[in-house]
Each structure stands twice: as C-alpha cells, then as structure tokens.
Chain A
Amino acid sequence: MNGMNVFLLIIATVAVILIDWPEVRQARTKKQMIVYFSVLGIGVTLAFLHLLDIPLFNPTNIIVWLFRPFVG
C-alpha cells in the first residue's frame, strides 16, 4: 500500500463532498443524503480496499461462472 495514494483518496473524498454539499443540502430530504453517502461510501470503500491490494468482487468472474455451461 502506498501512503500517498491513501492521502490522495482522502483529499479527493473531502473535495467531492465539498463540491456536492450545496446540491445535497438543497434537496433537504433525508433520503437524498442517505443515498448520496451510501453511493460515496461504497465507492470510497472499494477504492480503499483496492489500494490495500485486497481482492474485490469481480463481475467478469461471475459472468464466466454463470455462462460457462453455454460456452462449453
């Protein structure tokens, strides 16, 4: 893991929240906040796990596993 990458990830996340904050607040609904932070949370977690070199769920492997019987 490169410490610099994690630092950049944190900076980028803060920047994203600052950019989006006016729009999220303007909506004034709890649902909008929950969806916003869920999508952001999933993205940041994935990025962080990727930086830690932890293998992530890969959709292509699922596709191969699902359709192998058709391909032979």
Chain B
Amino acid sequence: MNQKDVAISVQQFAIFVSFYIIGSAVILIPSLLIIQAKQDAWVSALLAMVIAVMLTFGYGKLIQMFPDKTLIEMNEAVFGKWIGKAISLLYVTYFVFLTALVTRTLGDFMVTQILVQTPMEVIHLLFLLVGVMGVRLGLEVLARTAEIFFPPVLMFCILVILFLLPNYEVENFQPILENSILSIWKGTWTFLGIPIFDLIVLLMITPYIKKEERPRLQRGFLIGTIGGCAVVSIFLVLCLAVLGVDFTSRNTYPTYILGKRIAIGHFLERIEGIVAILWVMTIFFKMTICYFASVLALAQIFRLRDYKCLILPLCYTIMVYSIISIPNMSYFRMIALHYWTFYVAIFGAVFPLLLFFTAKFRQLSAKKEQ
C-alpha cells in the first residue's frame, strides 16, 4: 500500500497537534517552568504560546511551499541528494531519540506513581507494542482513534479544572513579576524545548492531509497549537494556584498530585487516576507520531516502497535507548532545564529556517534565469 493514498482530515490533524503538545508537557512542564520562573511561570507560558504561534506560521509557510512532501523529502529537494540525506539522517536520530524519551517519561511515571513494583522495561515494552500496532495500522486509524479520544480528554480536563475550584489560592501568584525578566525567559525557553520545537515532527504527516482540505491546514495547525498550549498553561496555572511555587517545583509530576487534592464533599476524592488516564491517552499519540515519523523518515531516506517492515526492527533500538538514555528523572530534569532546548532548537528552528531561506533563494534564482 502506498502511504500517500492515506488521507486524514484537517480536524484530525488539529487533534494530533493538540495531543502532541499536551502529551509530555502537561505533566512535566508545570514543575520545570515553576523552577525557572517561580510564580511568574504563567507569563513564561503565555510568551511561549506566542512564539509557538509564530513558529506554526513558519511551518505553515514551509508546508505551502512543499505541500506534497514530508520533511525528509523537502530536505532532499532543497539541499540536494547528499546534504539532504545527511540532514535527514540527523532528523532520524532525533525522532528515534524523542520516541525513546517519551516512552521513558511514561515508564518512569508509571513506576514511581502507579505500578510501583512493576519493572520499567515491561511497561516500556507493553507501551511500545501498542505503538507498533498503531503505526502498523497506519495514520488513518491513528487519526480516527485520536478523534474518539478527544471528547473524553476534553471532558477530563474540564472536570479537573472545575473540581479544583474550591482549592484555588490567588496569593500563590503574588508578588507578580518579582523575578527578573531573564528567569521568565528561561521558563519560556524550557517550554519551547519540551513540546514546541518538537512540532517539527508533524511535518512528516502533513502530506497525508486530504488535498481538498489543504487550504485550511494552516488554520488547523494554529488551532491545535493554541489549544494544546492553552491546556498546558491552564494546568500550570492550576499547579500554581493549588499547590504553590515550593511544592510544585519539588515534584516531578505536580499535575498528578493535583488530582489527589480534589475533594468534593466526602464522596468525590482522590481522582488522580483521571489525570493519569488523560496523560497516558495523549502521550500515546505523541509516542506513536514520533515512532511513525522515525520509520517513515528511514524508509524515505533509503527510498523503500513501504515503511511497515521497519517498524518492529526499530522497536529494539527505541526500547534500549528508552532505558539507557536517562538514568533517572533528576537527570532528565537537569537535561530538560539546561540542555534539551538547545538540541531541539537545531531541528525545530535552525534547520527549518535554513530550509526555508534556501528554498526561497532557489526559487528566486530560478525566476531570474527564466
């Protein structure tokens, strides 16, 4: 089956985008941002949202230039065969590494919070096998699954926000803008690293959007980005309002702790499972999209007819790196706070900018020659 026969709608793509952003960010970002920007973390989140919108516009321009090409095909078309392939191989390593990291964050969460006695490898393997099944079934099936999961995710978000209303403490936000602008920017920089620059992965699935809906793609991308960022920002504000700066910055998974704080009367308590379900649902899509992108990128670099035979072999590498790449979550937090954004900025901003300007330059010189 030719993958280009597969077609998803813009609505499904928008859901993918928002799930992709919510995926790892909703549970990891509040703590990381509050460490950097303290009670002004919400300003950092707003700033990151503005940059995310601008970045989405930029990606939209690239998609408009090459509507039928994935990121890997764009690289080859613009940079030529060898440089394009070299950059694409770097992208493959990034996609594989990202898939491994996403799997690891889920495994660590499960082992420390829910399935305490279960070996992490088992959780990774089970999660990856579901991912393998998703990628084998294809993008259309994944998109329809995302559509089915969207209402429950939205409902769970609204429920958590409503149930926590009695616990809000406005004093937790004060004093406003006490910290330096630099600390706010550091928070924004961290937010850009975890879900925003990662959005480049989605350029691997844009050619599979229905042709007749392509004009609305930019709008769908924007809506998905704003929706995803808004959910993450709302949970960040909830963490600040309910848990405060100290408690949130000391916990790796403050959003999960939020669920434990819900107490309506004496009959609705400890519904942290809802937060866990919400997160697992969304992170599954992030992992599967990254996995799909890795396999498809590899198949396109080597010009294979079908990507499906590479799914299971790649699972070994992802499984090993999900275990060895991060020794523990403290190390992960250190990497995420200080180093990760620099790394993803190369793939999410530097290479796409280079791609855009080189393509523009080539277009202009071709026009001049004519």
* Residues 88 to 145 of chain B near chain A (Cβ within 8 Å): 93, 97
* Residues 17 to 72 of chain A near chain B (Cβ within 8 Å): 19-20, 23-24, 27, 29, 31-32, 35-36, 39-40, 42-44, 46-47, 50, 56, 58-60, 63-64, 66-68, 70-71
Interface presence of A6 (CB below 8 A): no
Interface presence of A16 (CB below 8 A): yes
A-B contact count (CB 8 A): 85
Which of B19-27, B146-154, B302-310, B357-365 contacts its partner? B302-310
- Which residues from A are CB-within-8-Å of B316? 40, 42-44, 46-47
Interface residues on B, range: 20 to 34
Chain A proximity mask over B30-46: 1 for CB below 8 Å, otherwise 0: 00000000000000000
Q: Which residue of A lies closest to B332 (CB)?
A: A60
**Closest beta carbon of chain A to B314's beta carbon, Å:** 6
Q: Which residue of A lies closest to B314 (CB)?
A: A39
Chain A proximity mask over B328-347: 1 for CB below 8 Å, otherwise 0: 00010001001110110000
Which of B49-57, B273-281, B318-326 contacts its partner? B318-326
**Closest beta carbon of chain A to B303's beta carbon, Å:** 8
From A16, A47, A60, B335 is in contact (CB under 8 Å) with A60
**Cβ–Cβ contact B324 & A56, under 8 A:** yes
- Among A19, A58, A60, A63, residue most surrounded by chain B Cβ atoms (within 10 Å): A60
Assembly CA distance A58 to B305 (angstroms): 31
**Cβ–Cβ contact A59 & B304, under 8 A:** no
Interface presence of B251 (CB below 8 A): no
Interface residues on A, range: 20 to 34
- Which residues from A are CB-within-8-Å of B303? 31
Assembly CA distance A64 to B338 (angstroms): 9
**Cβ–Cβ contact B317 & A43, under 8 A:** yes
- Among A23, A31, A50, A63, residue most surrounded by chain B Cβ atoms (within 10 Å): A63
**Cβ–Cβ contact B317 & A46, under 8 A:** yes
Assembly CA distance A44 to B312 (angstroms): 11
**Cβ–Cβ contact A23 & B306, under 8 A:** yes
- Among B93, B97, B310, B315, residue most surrounded by chain A Cβ atoms (within 10 Å): B310
Assembly CA distance A68 to B315 (angstroms): 31
Other A-B pairs, 12, CB within 8 Å; known A40-B312, A43-B320: A16-B312, A27-B306, A35-B298, A42-B317, A46-B317, A46-B321, A56-B320, A56-B324, A59-B93, A59-B97, A64-B339, A67-B339
23 contacts between A and B (CB under 8 A): A16-B313, A20-B313, A23-B308, A31-B302, A31-B304, A35-B298, A35-B304, A36-B309, A36-B313, A39-B313, A39-B314, A40-B313, A43-B315, A43-B316, A43-B317, A43-B320, A46-B317, A50-B320, A56-B320, A60-B326, A63-B342, A68-B339, A70-B342
The 4 closest A-B pairs by CB, nearest first: A43-B316, A40-B313, A39-B313, A67-B342
